[in-house]
Structure 1
Amino acid sequence: MKYHLISLGCQMNASDGERVRTVIEQMGYTYTEDETEANLIGILACSVRQNAIDKVYSKISKWNKWKNRSNLITFVSGCVLPSDHEKFLKLFDIIFQMKDLPNLPEMIHQYGITTANGVQKGFDAQNDNISEFWNVKPDHTSDFEAFVPIQNGCDKFCSFCAVPYTRGREVSRPSVEIVNEVRSLVERGYKSITLLGQNVNSYGLDKKGDEIDFPELLRQIGNLGDDLKTEFWLYFTSPHPRDMTDEVIEVIAQYKCLAKQIHLPLQSGDDKLLIAMNRKHGLEKYRQSVSTIKRLIPEATLFTDIIVGFTGETNEQFENTRKAMEEFKYNMAYIAMYSPRPGALSHRWFDDVSLDIKKSRHHILTEDLKIHSKNYNSTMLDKVFKVLVKGTAKHDGYLAGLTEGRINVRFLSTDESLIGQFVDVKITSAANFSVEGEMITIKEGVV
């Protein structure tokens, strides 16, 4: 028996998919890249943008046609809004929330002997039994990069966001489990580990003093790195500017294994628009955090998320976002055109910024980003950087990787045994979003 799995959207879905693979493969299924060969096909949906949901409907329409000629079971999970949940009941054989993953074998076993609509769990925005999901050991798709979930859900209720309605309220995973999982990964040779959550720097706040907070979690992992004396980079995503404290930045500056790269979502550079977005912070709070990062970790790279064309965004407000990008000089920004999400508060508001204007603003901001990224990359010239080799580059004869600051690097080599290893690369040229260099030495895994 074979299965095929598609994960859409963010790193959280990719991480969840690794646990889905474990459960399915324990049932005796083997993975196939070719969905036409599969007896079981699943998709982890993303409700952040409409085009991702449109892809789900497109896929299931095709898969259901295949049922006329093959024995096929389909399922959907991931970030699913209640409105889509109701529609999916009639399209997929099985639908469940990720917290119910341990019950998937039973659902597959029951399929065909229950209701006409297949097997489904009722939609429930609570995360009461999420610990059962975390207890599933992930089937990592890489042997040198890994995700470690530390919480699920979100309490912020940004007006544009569907996450509180798809993943529920914030629940923190026990810190002992997190640290133990990180330790196991490092001992097995993993070089890049990313802590995942919808709002990682509010970690532990839902436990009312019964759990450590996010700075202490980072400190414990930092101490672990010092004790193990094994070289690895630990990242986290995503933090919320409202909860970003100086202590978090101080801890990152203190420990070698805590990567000097910070992803801090801005969304907009205009205070009035931030209020409309219900971001619960202003530009000055954001500016203070960036100032602390620059002061304590001057070598750190800064990434962000930005939405253009949010309901009511004026030309002046967009220009304020351009000014913020000029001020903060991001190394990378993930720029999205706003699309209303059912269930989110802003879905009730008239989407009054035309698609043409959204596209124009997206293009302008991307061009601004190219300038700042290229300027930073040019400062890397003639310097040597440690690079984690991730694979072959698009250009024949080259390997590609990332610096600690997650700057894309390519260098001349065909030695694929270097993939998953650290190497030293001297930078010889710089482009908008990447650099090129020459390999100097291979780094050993021990400091």
Structure 2
Amino acid sequence: MKYHLISLGCQMNASDGERVRTVIEQMGYTWTEEETEANLIGILACSVRQNAIDKVYSKIAKWNRWKNRSNLITFVSGCVLPSDHEKFLKLFDIIFQMKDLPNLPEMIHQYGITTPNGIQNGFDTHNDNITEFWNVKPDYASDFEAFVPIQNGCDKFCSFCAVPYTRGREVSRPSSEILAEVRSLVGRGYKSITLLGQNVNSYGLDKPDTEIMFPELLRQIGEMGNQLASEFWVYFTSPHPRDMTDEVIEVIAQYKCLAKQIHLPLQSGDDKLLIAMNRKHGLEKYRQSVTTIRRLIPEATLFTDIIVGFTGERDEQFDATRAALKEFNFNMAYIAKYSPRPGALSHRWFDSVPLEVKKERHQVLTEDLKLTSRNYNESMIGKIFRVLVKGPAKHEGYLAGMTEGKINVRFLTDNTDLIGQIVDVKIKSATDFSVEGDLIN
């Protein structure tokens, strides 16, 4: 029996997929790259983005047509809004929440019963059983990069976001399990480890009497790095500006294994728009955090998320976002055109910015980003950087990788044994979003 699994959306879904694969393969299924060969096909959905949810409906329509000629079971999980959940019940054989993953084998054996049970029970966003999910050992997709979930859910309720309605409220994973998984990964030679959560820097706030807070979690990982001989980089995503403290930045500056790259979502450079987004932070709070980062970790790269065309965004508010992007000199910004999502508060509001305006603003901001990114990349020329080699580059005869600051690098070599290793590369040229260099033996 063969299975195929598709993960859409963010890194959290990708990480969840590694645990899903473990459960399925323990049932005796083997992986296939070809959907047409599979007896079991699943998809981890993302209700946060319209194009991602559209892809789910496209896929299941195709798979259901195949059932006329093959014995096929389909399932869906991941970030699913209640409105999509109701529709999926009529389209998929099985729909479950990630916290119920340990029960998937029983669902597959009795999939004809699972769907009506789902209709009776409705959509539950409580995370009471998430610990059982975390106890599933992941089937890591890479031999040198890994995602480690440290929490699930979100308590922020940004007006544009559906995550609190798809993943429930914040629940922190026991720090003992996180530290054990990180130590195990390092012992197995992993070079890049990313701590995952919807709001990683609010880790532990739901368990103030029994759990450590995020700065202490980073500190203990940093001490682990000091004790171990291996070179590895630990990242985290995504933090919330409201909870980004100087202590977190101080800890990152102190320990070598804590990667000098910070992803801090801005979303908008206009305070009134941030209030409408219910972000609970203003531009000045964000500026204070960036100032501390630049002072304590001057070598750090800075990534962000920005939404253009949010409901009511005026030209002058978009200009404020452009100004913020230039002020903070982001190395990378993941720019999204706003689209209302059912379940999120802003879905009730009139989407007042035309699509063409959103596209134009997206293009303008991308051009601004090219300037800030390229300026940094050109400053790398002539310097030697440690680079994690990730695989073949698009150009034949080259390998590609990333610096500790997650800057894309390519260099000429045919030695594929370097994949998964950290090497020295001297940078000789730069483009908008990448650099090229020479391998230093």
Pairwise TM-score range, normalised by the shorter structure: over 0.9
Tell me how far apart the structure 2 counterparts of residues 122 and 247 of structure 1 sit (CA, whole Å). Answer: 42
Residue of structure 1 equivalent to 2:189: 189
Q: Is the 8 A contact 2:386 2:423 kept in 1?
A: yes
Gaps (5+ residues) in structure 1? Answer: 442-447
Q: How does 1:389-428 map to 2 (within 5 A)?
A: 389-428=389-428
Tell me how far apart the structure 2 counterparts of residues 296 and 273 of structure 1 sit (CA, whole Å). Answer: 30
User: Secondary structure of 1:51's match?
Assistant: helix
Letter in 2 for 1:181: E
Residue of structure 2 equivalent to 1:240: 240
User: Secondary structure of 2:302's match?
Assistant: strand
CA deviation vs aligned residue, 1:189-229 (integer Å, no higher than 9, x gap)? 00000000000000000002210000000000000000112
Q: Within the alignment, does 1:318 sit opposite 2:318 as a pair?
A: yes
Tell me how far apart the structure 2 counterparts of residues 165 and 115 of structure 1 sit (CA, whole Å). Answer: 22
CA deviation vs aligned residue, 1:323-351 (integer Å, no higher than 9, x gap)? 00010010000000000010000000000
Deviation at 1:117, TM superposition (A): 5.8
Tell me how far apart the structure 1 counterparts of residues 115 and 168 of structure 2 sit (CA, whole Å). Answer: 28
Residue of structure 1 equivalent to 2:45: 45
Tell me how far apart the structure 2 counterparts of residues 184 and 200 of structure 1 sit (CA, whole Å). Answer: 21
Q: Is the 8 A contact 2:94 2:115 kept in 1?
A: no
CA deviation vs aligned residue, 1:167-208 (integer Å, no higher than 9, x gap)? 000000000000000000000000000000000000000002
Deviation at 1:48, TM superposition (A): 1.3
Deviation at 1:118, TM superposition (A): 8.6
Letter in 1 for 2:18: E
Residue of structure 2 equivalent to 1:374: 374
Deviation at 1:111, TM superposition (A): 1.8
Gaps (5+ residues) in structure 2? Answer: none
Q: Within the alignment, does 1:257 sit opposite 2:254 as a pair?
A: no
Tell me how far apart the structure 1 counterparts of residues 158 and 383 of structure 2 sit (CA, whole Å). Answer: 41
Residue of structure 1 equivalent to 2:104: 104
CA deviation vs aligned residue, 1:98-118 (integer Å, no higher than 9, x gap)? 000000000000023x37769
Deviation at 1:11, TM superposition (A): 0.2
TM-score of the superposed pair, with normalisation by structure 2: 0.99
Q: Is the 8 A contact 2:94 2:114 kept in 1?
A: no
Residue of structure 2 equivalent to 1:147: 147
User: Secondary structure of 1:425's match?
Assistant: strand
Alignment root-mean-square deviation, CA = 1.0
Q: Is the 8 A contact 1:93 1:119 kept in 2?
A: no
Letter in 1 for 2:415: D
Q: Is the 8 A contact 1:111 1:119 kept in 2?
A: no
Q: 1:439 to 1:351 in 2, by over 3 A?
A: same
Letter in 1 for 2:38: A
Tell me how far apart the structure 1 counterparts of residues 188 and 114 of structure 2 sit (CA, whole Å). Answer: 45
User: Secondary structure of 2:262's match?
Assistant: strand
Letter in 1 for 2:440: I
Residue of structure 2 equivalent to 1:440: 440
Deviation at 1:122, TM superposition (A): 3.8
Q: How does 1:29-44 map to 2 (within 5 A)?
A: 29-44=29-44
Q: How does 1:206-245 map to 2 (within 5 A)?
A: 206-245=206-245
Q: Could you list the runs of 4 or more consecutive aligned residues of structure 1 that deviate by over 2 angstroms after TM superposition?
A: 114-122
Letter in 2 for 1:276: A
TM-score of the superposed pair, with normalisation by structure 1: 0.97
Residue of structure 2 equivalent to 1:78: 78
Letter in 1 for 2:323: K
- Percent identity for Structure 1 against Structure 2: 83
Number of residues paired by the alignment? 440
Q: Is the 8 A contact 1:90 1:117 kept in 2?
A: no
Q: Within the alignment, does 1:130 sit opposite 2:126 as a pair?
A: no
Tell me how far apart the structure 2 counterparts of residues 414 and 115 of structure 1 sit (CA, whole Å). Answer: 51
Residue of structure 2 equivalent to 1:430: 430
Tell me how far apart the structure 2 counterparts of residues 188 and 219 of structure 1 sit (CA, whole Å). Answer: 21
Letter in 2 for 1:335: I
Residue of structure 2 equivalent to 1:307: 307
Tell me how far apart the structure 2 counterparts of residues 170 and 140 of structure 1 sit (CA, whole Å). Answer: 24
Q: Is the 8 A contact 2:95 2:115 kept in 1?
A: no
User: Secondary structure of 1:205's match?
Assistant: coil
Tell me how far apart the structure 2 counterparts of residues 110 and 319 of structure 1 sit (CA, whole Å). Answer: 56
